[in-house]
Amino acid sequence: MTDTYTRIVSQGLGKDVARRLGLPQPVELRRHAPGAPLVIGPVLVNGDSLGADDLATALLGWGLDVRRNALPKEKLGAVILVLDAVQHPDDLGKQILTVAASLRDLSPNGRIITVSRTPHSASTPASAAARQGVDGMLRSLAKELRSGATANGVLLAEDIATTAPSALGAVRFFLSGRSAYVDGQFLTVTSASGSMPADVDKPLQGKVAVVTGAARGIGAAIARTLYRDGAKVVVVDIPAAGDHLAAVANQVHGTALQLDITRDDAGARIIEHAVERHGRLDIVVHNAGITRDRLLANMDEGRWQSVIAVNIAAQLRINEVLLASEHFKDAPRIISVASTSGIAGNRGQTNYGASKGGVIGMVRATAPLMESFGGTINAVAPGFIETEMTAKMPFAIREAARRLNSLKQGGLPVDVAEAIAFLATEPAGGINGGVLRVCGQQLVGA
């Protein structure tokens, strides 16, 4: 959907007028395009640990222009703050403040990335405090940035190196235009699993992916993005959406499966279709979902149960079949679409919030079950995304929802798709049981 305000104020006279009147000043975000540079400008890697040295060397291997010390007034594409060896809150200021001046030199759509360790794996209260302090600092910094710049973090388990496949994969994702609408968020690397793809432009080459709810909107964007990245795609939706589903299948040169996912045999039919048509099944994206909004005082059983049935109960049944299938054992990926409504809540969406909160709980509990065969399961939680549904919202409510985040605009379906596509890749093999918000750092709630 078109955000006319962002287009007007992101350039020329409109930008000047918005600044003078104190209005929100969103800019057009740098999104991924095949062949585009990973990041625009030099990358400053700050840190005095061996992990910082190793990460800087790895980035040089990607052909990036890496700095270990900032040059005066040089425009930077990104600043990576490596805090993997911090052991006490007293240590934070010394390192963080050394890059404070460089923030003024950050280019539009620039990137700030922290690399630190998980608080829960700390051996002392002091180190746990320091690590949790990185969380609060990073989320606060993200709300200070302007001109489309974002700040995100990579959290490493205790024995994970800064150059582990998924650590590098997460850094690459956050540097790139694929993460344009991800802000103030963390990806946690729990294992050294995964590998870097032979072709970074086609990281899903040879994989077969299934996307539910793929006839339009976010689901269609997911299918197109997975196809762009090299996957063969099976698109799934209800029979009533058959025409739209066929159009998407044609766009991605894939196959269409008309299926109500609440059927008891949905999991078996998905596996059967993927294996018969494409010979294997590697990735399942649970995107299908519905809303039946009402205040709880006005909620009836039909509205409540229908949302639960589609949004979470169907996923649980399908996952049970996937986990039991011999066709889903070769380092498979499951990615579920949750929602910020399942994290922070939303008025009139008690049923929807319960279903999306349920998705997050399911993902966390299923993660250990995926480990035995090298698989992962993660969730992506969108915030305000420009879709046909949000276009029907009253103007004032829609505008407020667009501006109530650090980037001062709504996201696009492709922003959700990019996050899902990353979590489906081999470099994300060490990320399991996580929830990545794609919301521009909404100021309301979590």
> Quick check: helix, strand or coil at residue 107?
strand
> Quick check: helix, strand or coil at residue 442?
strand
Say how far apart CA 266 and CA 274 lie, in whole Å: 12
Q: b/e map of 83-115 (b: 16 or more CB within 10 Å)?
A: bbbbeebebbeebbeebeebbebbbebbbbbbb
- Are residues 378 and 435 in contact, defined by beta-carbon separation less than 8 angstroms? yes
Strand order in the sheet with 106-117: 66-67, 43-46, 76-82, 106-117, 150-156, 186-189
CA 26 to chain centre: 20
- 51 Cβ contact list (under 8 Å, min separation 6): 82, 84, 85, 115, 161, 162, 163
Say how far apart CA 329 and CA 411 lie, in whole Å: 34
User: Helix, strand, coil % (nearest 5) of the chain?
Assistant: 45, 15, 40
Say how far apart CA 404 and CA 441 lie, in whole Å: 9
Q: Which residues are catalytic?
A: 352
**What pairs with residue 156 in β-bridges?**
117, 189
- Are residues 111 and 174 in contact, defined by beta-carbon separation less than 8 angstroms? yes
Strand order in the sheet with 333-337: 255-258, 232-237, 208-212, 283-286, 333-337, 376-382, 435-438
Q: Which of 440, 314, 437 is nearest to 379 (CA)?
A: 437
Say how far apart CA 269 and CA 274 lie, in whole Å: 9
Q: Is 374 left (phi over 0), alpha (psi -120 to 50) or beta?
A: left
